[in-house]
Structure formats: C-alpha cells, structure tokens
Chains A and B, each alone.
Chain A
Amino acid sequence: MSHENDSAAYNREAELSALFAAYREACPDPDPSANFTPELWARIEARQTFVFSLKRFAQGIITAAAAASLVMGAYLYRPDTYTNSPVYQTGYLELLANEQSADNPANAEIVQALYERDR
C-alpha cells in the first residue's frame, strides 16, 4: 500500500514537471507591440514631470520655512526686546543679594527690629 502511495506521488511529481515543461513551450516570448517603446518613454517623461513638480514644491516649502525661520530669529534676537530688561543684565545671585540687601528700603524695618532686639 505504502509502495503504491510512493509510486503515485512519484508519478504526480513527474507529471507536474512535464506539465511545467509543456507550459514553457506553450508560452513563447511574445513579440512586443510597435507602441511598446514610445509608450514607455511617454511614461518615463510623465514620471519625470511629476518628480520635477514634486521637487519644485518641496523646494518652495523649504525656502518658505527658511524665510520664516529668519523672520522669527530676527524678531527674537531684536536687541531691545529682552536684553534691556534688568533680568537679563544681572545674574541670579546678584539679583538676590540686591533684593535681600539691608540698604533696600523694603528691608529697613526688619533690619531696625533685629537691631533693637539684639541690643
């Protein structure tokens, strides 16, 4: 029984191989039509035009983005926008020292009270 199965499988394998060989013979290389090459070039040119338009569009976007960056940069780095502010003129520690200084009129009462207590 097993021998018969093996034999049947072998036969099918051989039939399939023969079928593939017959198929190769039954499907010869077709002759291209006269329009094959002109149509190909038309497709190439259409694709090139599309790619060219896409490139131009992308370049336009890049130029616009660069211009917008320049404008924003110029606005942010305008000398009188932030740099004149005292916050940007002094460091944090200096600012703190000034705020907490005994000479600061806002602290005068506290300094006076401490002086009275210690005396």
Chain B
Amino acid sequence: MLVDFELIRRAREGDHAAYNEVVQAYRKRILGTIARLIGRPEDVEDVGQEVFLRLYFSLDQLRTPEVFEPWLYRLTVNAAYDYLRKHRRRTETRMSDLSEQQVVLADAVAGSKREDEEQRRKRIRELVNSLLNGISEQDRMLLTLKEIEGLSLKELEKIYGVNENALKVRLFRARQRVLKVYEGLERKIAPVRASE
C-alpha cells in the first residue's frame, strides 16, 4: 500500500485533502499501468483522470480500506477496457495489416545492437502493441496485468472476482492466442529476413 488506511478512510468520508493525497500517491503507478494497457501515450492522462473520477464517485462503496488497491486496479482495468472498446476501430491491427515498416521493426526486436537504446525500446513497444492489438480486449487486459504488470494470481483473483483455476484457464487461452499472432508475425517477417 502506498498510503495508510486512515487516509483512505478520510478520503471516503469526503475529505478533499485526503483524496488529493491518494491521487498524488497512486497517479504515477496508475498512469504506467494504463500506458501499458492501452498502448497510446497521448490518451494515458485522459484515461487516468477517468479512473480517479470514478474512484471519487465510488469511494463510498468501498467496504474496507484493505481492499483499496484491488478496487483501484479494477477501476483502472474497466476504464482501459472502455477506452479500448471505444477506440477499437482506430487501434485494431490485424497481422495482414502490418506494414512492411512494422515488419522490419519487428525483425529488429531480435536484438540488433546497432541501434541505440531508445530506438530499441520504441520498437519493442510497437511490436508488443501490434501483438496485443491482434487479440481481444479481454485477453489484452489479462495478459498485460499478469505478464507485464507482474500481478500475482491472488491479486488477479481480487480484481476479476473469479477463482484461481478459472484465471489460469483464461490466461492459458489468452497466451495461446497471442502466440498465434506471434507466429503469424514470424511468418511474415521471415521473407524480409531472408532477403537481407
């Protein structure tokens, strides 16, 4: 926990200063999670504000301060999911739509040492976003939280409200689907690699 329970209790009772402190404590972490969930840096703050707006109006429904963090994560996941659904047409990228430039970029992810660090990072971001855009929003959310955010199954249980076994099944299927997309990408970049 980044804040103590007393602060959350005060924020829940309508103390604006306490709420401000909660926002200050969590905003960076939440913005980071949103950035990785939606993959569009320009909209991260907007979705982040939506999360804290929802938090403000739902804080009185929080049963105990102990479940604050899973609660906040759930709000984050829901806001990111709503964003992705709303912008589906804009962000959706099928493997067949990948431009040659993206394919070349993807190839570079294999670890070219010629490029500087920032270029490499940029290409990794683009590749992973392409992969995640190839699966459903639900799969994207779950995989991001587990594989990228590093949340444990116990934490995911609290966020999703389903048991560990059901989560394992969902995760396995989501991973299989993203692997298929990855294989498709590999097939696509193979001729590019061969021509080099």
Contacts and interface: CB of A to CB of B under 8 A. Distances in A.
B48 interface: yes
Given A27-B35, A32-B45, A37 B23 contact: yes
Given A12-B183, A26-B121, A43-B53, A36 B36 contact: no
A40 B52 contact: yes
Which DSSP category, helix, strand, loop or mixed, fits chain A's interface? helix
B: contact size bracket: 35 or more
Interface string A12-42: 1101110110111111111111001101100
Which DSSP category, helix, strand, loop or mixed, fits chain B's interface? helix
Contact of B36 (A12, A16, A23, A33): A23
Interface string B35-76: 110000100110011001100110000000000000000000
A118 B67 CA distance: 96
Contacts of B35: 27, 29-30
B128 A40 contact: no
Interface string B18-32: 001001100111011
A44 B53 CA distance: 6
Contacts of B44: 30
Contacts of A37: 20, 23-24, 27
Given A27-B36, A30-B41, A43 B49 contact: yes
Contacts of A33: 45
Given A24-B150, A32-B48, A40-B53, A19 B125 contact: no
Given A24-B148, A27-B125, A37-B23, A32 B31 contact: yes
Nearest to A26: B121
Contacts of A29: 28-29, 31-32, 35
B179 A16 contact: yes
